[in-house]
Amino acid sequence: MKTHIQFRKMKVADIQNGPIRHPVLPDAFIERVKNFKQVLAEVEKTSLDSTLENFQRDEDPETELLIWEHIASIYQWSVVANEGLSVEQKKEVLSILLSLSMDMNDFSDIKKLTKETIDEIVDRYQYV
């Protein structure tokens, strides 16, 4: 049975954090977070403490971490495969990957990457 999800717009100031569900994250988990953050450091500036707190709030932090590790892996592949990308282009790569992780595929706001590069990233994200 497929669940229907409804989205609504709201002000960022009205968003409230959920509760801490996992007060302690294992050391190995924290190391994995540090690893993916290192890969994304040039384009993803959220502090380690804030990132870890977000994982503590997740219902299923392991699944969320697997998604972030996948994003980091495809990001790293994209940067190597498209040598010479500017920081702005790298930010667009991350934007595409974040969209894909949320099952969104509208890339009309991507202006600095070619359609071919976008298609390569989408293909790689879905089939790795």
Give this prediction's pTM: 0.87
pLDDT in tens, 46-91: 999 999 999 999 999 999 999 999 999 999 999 999 999 999 999 9
Compute the average pLDDT of residues 98-127.
95
60's torsion region: left (phi>0), alpha (psi -120 to 50) or beta?
Answer: beta
Q: Which residues contact 95 (CB under 8 A, 6 or more apart)?
A: 109, 110
Residues 55 and 65 sit within 8 Å (Cβ to Cβ): yes
